[in-house]
Structure 1
C-alpha cells in the first residue's frame, strides 16, 4: 500500500477561544470537539518522530497500523497514513470507521469522461483573495487529517502522549547551548528522534541531531 501521509498521531481537543489549535471549520471557536491525525511535530504535546527503519519493525510487530481516512465531503478524497495501534483503536471507537481502504475500481456501468478546460491566463495582480489558474477545485485539508467533529465529548477524551518530546532547559542552559551552536536561543529545540538540544528552528536548520543522522546513514 502506498503511504502518503506519513506516521501520524490521534489528537482530540475541544474548540474554545483558549484552545491552542484554531478551529478547522470556522473562523472562531465553535465550542465543539474535533479529532484528527497530525504529524508528530504538530501534536500537543509534541511527539517523537518515527524513523523509517523503526517503522518497518513496528509495523511488522503490529505496533503501527495502516489507516485509510476519507474526506467527509468527498469520498474520493482519501489519505493513507501510519498510526499507533492504540490510536487506531481509539479512532475506530469514536468515529465508527474501519480504516480499511475501499475498492477503488470503477463500476462496470460507470462512464469515463474527459472535459477539456482552458487555463485562466488573465492577470490578477493586485486583486484580493487567492486565485488559481486551474479550473479544478482546490483540494481541502480535511482529507489529510481525517477531521471529525462531535457535539459531545467522546469517551476517554484525554490521550496520554506515547513518546512526548520535551526540551527542559533553564534560561542559562539555553543561552549556553545557543552560544555553542552559534544561533539565537529561540531557535534551540529538541531533536525529533532523541530530544537532544539542537539548532532546530530557523533557515537551513536540521530536524535531527548529527548523531541520529550518522546512525541512519550507517544503517
Structure 2
C-alpha cells in the first residue's frame, strides 16, 4: 500500500526486551537507555545468524500481554534495523521472520540471468561455474567466471533488497578469497549500488533473458573524458555553477549516453568477457565534496590507468564502508511504546528508498593549467600531460610536440601544424 510516494512498513517498534541482560531497550535514545553498556548497539544490531535468535523479545510478549505476531502464527522474537521516515533513520524492532522471499517471477529472473552469464562465458572460452561456495562456507557466489590470466569475477545477481552490511560482508569475503565481486541489480534504488562494484540491467521478464534479448548495462559502467574548459567546449565547468568557463582542464566520468560523442552501450555479454580478461576493471572514486561516500564503477583498464595518473593516486576499493549521511542513525528520544504493533499498517510510515543509480558526473578532477616546460628533460611528455594538452588544443595526441624555441607543448605535427608556438612565432616575426 502506498500513499504520496511512501509505503507502509509493518511490524516495527521503538522498544525491545533483551533476554540476555534482562533489561528493556529504548531504541529512540542515543545510549539505548543504558549508558553503562557502550557495546549494546553493536550487539543488538548483529546478524541474527551470529547471535541467539531469542536474544530480543517483543515487549508485549515479555509482559504477558498479547503479541500480535505470535497470535498470527509468527514469532515473538525480534531483530533491529534502520527505518526511513521523513529523511530520518530511526532504529526499529521488527518481528522475525521478515526476510524477503523471492516470488516465482523473481526466482525465474535470477536463474535466467545466472544461466546467461555462465553460458556467455562458455561461448567465449572462459571457465565458469554456478553456485560457487567460498572456502569458509560463509557465502555462495551465483556464478564465478575465470579469465585466461586467472582473474576471477564473482557475479552476484541481487534482484531484491539486501542490506548494505550484507553487501559489504559478502564482498569482503569474496575479495579475501581472490574473487572480484560484481553485483547485478535491476532497481535504481538498490542498496548495493556504490557499496561495491556493480552493474544495473533492465527489469526484464525471465523469458526475454532466456531468449537472449539485448541486456544493456544501464548503470555502473562509465567512460573517462578530459576537456579544456573554454567557451567553445560543449561541457560545463566543474568549478563554476551555471555559466562561465575557468580555462582549466577537467576530467570526469560519464555513462555512455552522456559521452561526447555518445558511446555505444555496454551489454552484459561485453562485461562478462571484459571483466574476466581485465579489459574492464572496477574503480572507486571518492567523493570530492558532493556529500556522497564515493562511486563504484566499471571502466576500461585504459581509462582507469589514465585517471590514476591524472589524479596522481591509486584509490583501492574501500576496505570498510564509509558511512553516508543517509545512513546515520537518528534518535528521537521518545517514550518506549510497549504495545505490539505487528500488522498495524498505519502505525509506521517509511519513505520509499532513494535513487542511488544517478546519471550525473562524479564531481571529477581539475588540472589547474597546461603542463609547463620541463627543464630537466624537455623531451619527455607524460601520459597525463599528453591527455590534457590533447583536450586543450583540440588535436589527437600523436600530433602533439614541443615548440622548437621554448619547448612548451603545442600542436607540432599534422595538418596546419607549426614548429613554433604562437608566442614564439610572434616574437620571431617581430625581430
Q: What's the TM-score once normalised by structure 2's chain length?
A: 0.28
Match of 2:261?
Answer: 45
Q: How many residues align?
A: 135
Match of 1:13?
Answer: 227
Match of 2:305?
Answer: 89
Match of 2:369?
Answer: 152
Partner secondary structure for residue 7 of structure 1: coil
Match of 2:275?
Answer: 59
1:103 lines up with 2:349 in the alignment? no
Partner secondary structure for residue 306 of structure 2: helix
CA deviations on 1:133-174 (whole Å, 9 max, x unpaired) are x9xxxx9x89852510111234122387xxxxxxxxxxxxxx
1:24 lines up with 2:254 in the alignment? no
**Ranges in structure 2 where 5+ consecutive residues have no aligned partner:** 1-195, 200-218, 334-350, 371-383, 397-431
- Using the TM superposition, name which of 8-17 and 143-152 deviates more: 143-152
Shift of 1:40: 1.2
Name the CA distance, whole Å, in 2 between partners of 1:142 and 1:46.
Answer: 14
Partner secondary structure for residue 56 of structure 1: helix
Name the CA distance, whole Å, in 2 between partners of 1:7 and 1:18.
Answer: 28
CA deviations on 1:101-153 (whole Å, 9 max, x unpaired) are 2222579xxxx753449xxxxxxxxxxxxxxxx9xxxx9x8985251011123
Name the CA distance, whole Å, in 2 between partners of 1:64 and 1:106.
Answer: 25
Shift of 1:72: 1.4
**Ranges in structure 1 where 5+ consecutive residues have no aligned partner:** 118-133, 161-219
Structure 1 75/98 Cα, relative in aligned 2: closer, same or farther at 3 Å?
farther
1:208-219 map, 5 Å: none
- Using the TM superposition, name which of 52-61 and 147-156 deviates more: 147-156
- Residues 64 and 84 in structure 1, CA contact (< 8 A), matched pair in contact too: yes
- Residues 71 and 143 in structure 1, CA contact (< 8 A), matched pair in contact too: no
Structure 1 106/78 Cα, relative in aligned 2: closer, same or farther at 3 Å?
closer
Shift of 1:74: 6.0
- 4+ residue runs over 3 A deviation: 141-144
Give the root-mean-square deviation of aligned CA atoms: 3.2
Shift of 1:54: 1.1
- Residues 71 and 77 in structure 1, CA contact (< 8 A), matched pair in contact too: yes
Structure 1 105/10 Cα, relative in aligned 2: closer, same or farther at 3 Å?
closer
Name the CA distance, whole Å, in 2 between partners of 1:147 and 1:40.
Answer: 16
Q: What's the TM-score once normalised by structure 1's chain length?
A: 0.53
Larger radius of gyration: 2
Name the CA distance, whole Å, in 2 between partners of 1:20 and 1:143.
Answer: 16
Partner secondary structure for residue 156 of structure 1: helix
Partner secondary structure for residue 230 of structure 2: coil
Structure with greater strand share of residues: 2
CA deviations on 1:64-106 (whole Å, 9 max, x unpaired) are 0001011112685211111111111011011023132222257
CA deviations on 1:27-84 (whole Å, 9 max, x unpaired) are 3111111101111121122221110111111100010000101111268521111111
Structure 1 73/79 Cα, relative in aligned 2: closer, same or farther at 3 Å?
same
